[in-house]
Amino acid sequence: MAQRREAGAGLQTGNKGDVLVIPVQLERGRYGIVMVDTVAEISWIYRLTSMGFNPNRLELLAAKSWKYDMSSTVLQHGRA
């Protein structure tokens, strides 16, 4: 039996739906991707580099874990 897949604007998930890959426009003429790991509670922002000595690469701009943030605790337990 074939699995039905929802079409999203470039949105892709892992097998268990735990990693999201989202294409974004960072500034005029510059693009990147945001990766969100919902299990490990980490997100990364990469810029797609298409110019320079080594074109077609990803450059890490930022990474953030929200595992121990207060907002994460509130969402999990429903209280502050």
Q: How far apart are CA 36 and CA 13, in angstroms?
A: 10
pLDDT for residue 12 is more than 90: no
Contact 33, 43 (CB under 8 A): no
pLDDT for residue 9 is more than 90: no
Residues linked to residue 31 through DSSP beta bridges, in sequence order: 25
Residues linked to residue 37 through DSSP beta bridges, in sequence order: 19, 42
Domain ranges of the chain: 12-77
What confidence tens digit (pLDDT) does each residue in 46-69 have?
999 877 777 788 899 999 998 887
Q: How far apart are CA 79 and CA 67, in angstroms?
A: 16
Q: How far apart are CA 64 and CA 78, in angstroms?
A: 22
Contact 46, 58 (CB under 8 A): yes
